[in-house]
Amino acid sequence: MTNTFVRVGFTAAVAAALFVAVGTPTVAQEKGLTIKDIMKAGHGGTDPLLKQVIFAAKDGKWDAAVAAAKSLDSNAALLHKATPSKGGADSWEKLGGAYHKNTSALLAAAEKKNADGVKTSAGAIQGSCKACHTAHKGK
């Protein structure tokens, strides 16, 4: 039980730090936020931002959906400016740009209270994982 609270608290702290850092990408770099940190806040753990948007929209909790979508979209902007450990710059630009475009579409759908738009955009985001990870995730 305590571990769950610690993980949720850590994830929330990372998400909050990313949200604050949005206006100035250099703050994210100074705080040592990595691509992994950004992706974990958006898609990992027990309560990632994308999951928050999907479930909030499904439940008609549009303020919560918009807040999580804003954080996810802001993080996508930071992610897009990062340099991956693997893969070429052209591929990162293309795939990172597509990811950010999809998170922006998700935010727009949430702001319009468009459940179908949220579902479509979330599906596009989830469908983009393999291509990007194949090209850029590595050790």
Assign residue 59 the CATH number of its domain: 1.20.120
pLDDT of residue 43: 95
pTM, two decimal places: 0.76
The 10s digit of each residue's pLDDT in 7-41 is 444 444 444 444 443 433 334 454 556 899 899 99
Please give the tally of structural domains in the chain: 1
Report the alpha-carbon distance of residue 17 to residue 15 in Å, rounded. 5
The domain containing residue 119 runs over which residues? Answer: 2-136
* Residues 65, 118 contacting (CB under 8 angstroms): yes
Lowest mean pLDDT among 27-31, 62-66, 133-137: 27-31
Residue 102 has pLDDT above 90, yes or no: yes
Distances (CA, A) of 12 to 9, 32, 44, 109: 5, 16, 12, 23
